[in-house]
Amino acid sequence: MIRGHKIRLYPNNKQATYFAKASGAARFAYNWALTEWKRRHEAGERVTESGLRKELNAAKKEQYPWMYEVTKCAPQLAIKNDLNNAFANFFAKRAAFPKYRKKGIHDSFSISNDQFEIEGRKVWIPLLGWVNMAEELRYDGKIIGASVSRTADKWYVSVQVEIPVPKAATTGENQAVGVDLGVKAFATLSDGTVIQGAKAGKQCEAKLRRLNQELSRRQGARKGESKSRNFQKTKRKISRLHAKMAHIRADQTHKLTTMLTRNYSLIGIEDLNVKEMMGSPRFARSVADMSFFEFRRQIEYKAEASGSKVVVADMWYPSSKTCSNCGYELPELSLSIREWACPQCSAHHDRDLNASLNLKHYAEKNA
């Protein structure tokens, strides 16, 4: 299996400038290849990523000589990996048509495994040299590749390592649990445990609003004006705040998914239609604050490593309105009703706890 370890970098000014240039080369190559793909597709020509890479490589000596200032992997892997994967996701109907990349948004570039080295708390990058890392690489195994990215004003390296599938390490043998995700509480477990959401967005909402108002008053907020230093300062503050919110959400999700996969051998969850939930003006912000999609992604790969099994109930499974005691299903149950009594067996239910119990039963039946 392939695992990634994301480590913060501590570049000096020269190294940070190199990272920005390499990210720019990757962004230019991605946008150039996307334009060429569109043009040739409209002309009825066959387009391949290998053909686009060869053409860019042949043209860069005369047309784009500045690309030689950074590693050759930056533009090449932007086409081979990033654009290729973007089209693969589009044709598989997992994502929309690829969009052009913009400067300052998700700046990153990739490096192949034969073009960099890691030694202790340092990474060697072509045409740059050794860059300090915050910690040593966590995994032992074959290094597949790496990508350097910027979050706010901090740089990180994410190293992909191929490791053997670990032996099952789940301590909760033959234990099952149902997990109901929600907006009021992040997760309700079938054993009665309630995990409240960190609600990073709500925590930082007032400060974010104030900074956005401050940014709108800075010189350069209107089109056609040059960006002032104060404009850039406020923009960096906003980026740092968004990064802080993302880190709070990631910390909560990692802790919960790790706990579940280490303590339970069978986990029942529901396939939530996050896209439709995000379409509701009433719940969109709260749903985004909970990171439901990231929870599903993490619990599945961690379960594989720990020996647990995740059973996913269909999104139409009536987990909330089915009595976990006798199986009676209510015809309707509005979102405003948090508790209800079963008309058949008179059992009293908390909406979220009842849903988690039903997900546990579903997992036990369909494991």
Is 192 in the same domain as 144? no
Is 19 in the same domain as 58? yes
Q: Catalogue the active-site residues.
A: 180, 270, 352
pLDDT given at position 279: 66
pLDDT given at position 253: 92
Number of domains in the chain: 2
Distance CA 365, CA 253 (A): 27
Length of the chain: 367
Out of 154-158, 222-226, 359-363, pick the least confident: 222-226
Q: How confident is the model over 3-47, as pLDDT tens digits?
A: 889 999 999 999 999 999 999 999 999 999 999 999 998 888 888
Q: How confident is the model over 174-191, as pLDDT tens digits?
A: 589 999 988 888 899 998
Residue 228 lies in a domain: no
Greater confidence (169 vs 64) lies with 64
What percent of the chain stands above pLDDT 70? 95
For residue 340, what are the contacts with CB-CB under 8 A and spacing of at least 6?
330, 333, 348, 349, 351
Residue 225 lies in a domain: no
Contact in structure between 282 and 334 (CB atoms under 8 Å): no
DSSP, collapsed to helix, strand or coil, labels residue 69 as helix
Is 313 in the same domain as 194? yes
Residue 306 lies in a domain: yes
Residue 171 lies in a domain: no
Is 269 in the same domain as 357? yes
Is 19 in the same domain as 130? yes
Is 183 in the same domain as 324? yes
Confidence category of residue 166, pLDDT binned at 50, 70, 90? low
Q: Which span out of 94-103, 287-296, 324-333 was modeled with the highest average pLDDT?
A: 94-103
What percent of the chain stands above pLDDT 90? 55
- Across 330-354, average pLDDT: 88
Is 263 in the same domain as 337? yes
For residue 212, what are the contacts with CB-CB under 8 A and spacing of at least 6?
238
Residue 243 lies in a domain: yes
Is 266 in the same domain as 350? yes
For residue 214, what are the contacts with CB-CB under 8 A and spacing of at least 6?
234
Is 284 in the same domain as 343? yes
pLDDT given at position 104: 87
Residue 23 lies in a domain: yes
Residue 234 lies in a domain: no
Out of 33-42, 166-175, 260-269, 297-306, pick the least confident: 166-175
pLDDT tops 80 at residue 346: yes
pLDDT given at position 224: 66
pLDDT given at position 24: 96
pLDDT given at position 30: 97
Residue 77 lies in a domain: yes
Greater confidence (280 vs 182) lies with 182
The last residue of one of the domains, among 113, 135, 162, is 162
Distance CA 185, CA 194 (A): 7
Contact in structure between 215 and 221 (CB atoms under 8 Å): yes
**Of 195, 205, 307, nearest in space to 254 by CA:** 195
Q: Whole-number mean pLDDT of the chain?
A: 89
Is 187 in the same domain as 116? no
Is 281 in the same domain as 339? yes
Q: What is the pTM of this model?
A: 0.81
Residue 269's domain comprises 176-198+239-366
Is 116 in the same domain as 36? yes
Domain at 289, CATH number: 3.30.420
